[in-house]
Amino acid sequence: MQNSISMRETSRGLDHKEKLRPARRIDHFTNWRMWPGLAATVCLLLPGCAVGPDFRTPPAPADSGYTARPLQTTTDAPHVAGGNAQSFVEGRDIAGDWWTLFHSGELNRLIAQALTNNPDLKAAQAALLAAHENVLAQRGGYFPTVTATFSASRQKQPQTLAPVPNYPVVPQEFQYNLFTPQVSVSYVPDVFGLNRRTLESFKAQEQGVHYQMIATYTTLTANVVVTAIQKAAVQAQIDATRQLIDLNSNMVQILRYQRIKGYASQLDLVAQESQLAQTAAALPPLMKQMAQLRDQLAVLVGRFPNQAPGAAFALANLKLPAELPVSLPSELVAQRPDVLQAEANLHAASAQIGIAIANRLPNIELTASAGNDALAFEKLFTSGTGFWGLGAAAAAPLFQGGQLLHQERAAKAAYTQAAEQYRSTVLTAFQNVADTLTALQQDAEALQAAANAANDARITLNLSQRQWHDGYISYLALLNAKQAYQQARISLIQAQADRYADTAALFQALGGGWWHRPDLTKDTYEK
């Protein structure tokens, strides 16, 4: 812009002093008496109000419980791993390292590896850093922008126009250089709170990403615990199934011998062979499930499947927590990361309404510039080469085909959508806790029944072994007792695994205790 003005002045044949005089460009700003009024106007505009609704945190639910029936201490199954009774302590806080309550060193090491190497958690942390940098970038809107430019050009004037004056030494010169260093300052006062609402939206989005990272953390820790429990349960089922296959194979061999000797019918032999085939068919799915769990555990700790950790887990080595904390419903909405993320999304949607309203209002921009013009580089900062300018501009949308109006209505509809999604998330959180509490009650009863069945099968097997030793029953009857005992063991293993896994699910449903971990509670959006 400065170059074009200088060219116009040169083409008019102005004398050297007139051409370089800065006041020629901004005569309407040379009245210094206008400056106090302009400054006062700017000061009045700066603290303007922010349009749009001010966000308020939704109130906590008034419900005082999760289940229709009061929580009671679960039943117990003595002398069985994971069979001790569990009591529910309402209002007790959740430990940040709740998995240590299972008293498994191997499990603790796996959790540590997962928190260090899991790529999903690292990606969530990087997303949080990106969101924080976006907040810091938006804060720049509160400050003026300062731009420094320098232009150098070689120009030629038509010979039909008046030539450039004798500067510096060559008369009648139609070709010359022009050097223009300039500093420009522009500032947009946040009169109606557009920048404040935009920054508020970015902060709310950062909060949402923060809680999404925490949700990734709680899901990761719970998945490692549950996967390790399932891996131990499947391995125990594989061992029991293999023993069943051996027992059924022995029974088939005996029946074949008895069939030859005429002591057993073909029907008895075929029925036992069918039982053997069914038992053998149950082994491959267990082996496949075992391989999948091993691969899943490797990925959770940040390794490739062929680098799966070789830790061996056994349900008998895990200790079931005897006391389980149950957060108050009013505290649940302040602990669950998915609920907090939904609240952050609601906050961001609220700020978007203010942004849409502010976009329909006038926008004011203040500008200032100062620099030098010279035809020779060494003359840039000599007397008489400087220029400056001040400006103010206001722009207001008059007609845009209803675009801004509908954007405001869309923002309000998006806020309603976010509010309903928040309510749905809260309901789902309560459902998760209620389902888990009910499952723990039923798991205890199922484990007690499975333990009783396994104990009865064991007693039957012991009696059968004595009877066979004394010659009162056949070896085939003894094998049947062994088979019944192994089947009861498989049911017991499944009941034990369910109880351990649902205990871990309760800690996850209540929020996972992340608020006790300094690496997760750092509120980067408040920096």
pLDDT at position 17 is: 36
pLDDT at position 208 is: 96
Closest among 100, 64, 119 to 516, alpha carbons compared: 100
Average pLDDT per block of 10 residues along the chain, 527 residues long: 37 36 38 42 53 91 84 90 93 94 94 96 96 95 94 80 51 74 94 94 96 97 96 94 93 90 87 92 96 95 88 88 93 95 97 95 93 87 90 93 94 97 96 96 95 94 90 88 93 95 96 93 54
Residue the block writes with tokens 């027992």: 247
Q: By three-state DSSP, how is residue 190 classified?
A: coil
Domains in the chain (CATH in brackets) are 1-31+144-189+365-384 (2.20.200), 40-138+191-361+396-526 (1.20.1600.10)
Separation CA 139–CA 133 (nearest Å): 10
Task: Give the number of other Cβ atoms within 10 Å of residue 520's Cβ.
Answer: 18
pLDDT at position 10 is: 35
Q: In what order do the strands lie in the sheet with 363-372?
A: 145-156, 175-187, 363-372, 386-395
Contacts of 380 (CB under 8 A, 6+ apart): 179, 181, 372, 374
Cα–Cα distances in angstroms (integers) from residue 317 to residues 74, 102, 107, in the given order = 21, 9, 11
Residue the block writes with tokens 């959770």: 300
State the amino acid at position 89 in one-letter form: V
Residue the block writes with tokens 């699910």: 505
pLDDT at position 462 is: 93
pLDDT at position 61 is: 86
Residue 396, classified by CB atoms within 10 Å of its CB into exposed (0-12), middle (13-18) or buried (19+), is exposed
pLDDT at position 159 is: 66
pLDDT at position 404 is: 94
pLDDT at position 155 is: 83
Separation CA 193–CA 49 (nearest Å): 6
Radius of gyration of the chain (CA): 40
Angle of helix 403-470 versus helix 337-358 axis, rounded to 10: 170
For 138-186, give the DSSP string: HHGGGS-EEEEEEEEEEEE--TTSPPBPS-SS-TTB-EEEEEEEEEEEE
pLDDT at position 468 is: 86
pLDDT at position 523 is: 57
Asked whether 107 and 298 are in contact (CB, 8 A), the reply is no
- Long-range CB pairs of 40-44 (<8 Å, 24+ gap) are 42/189, 42/366
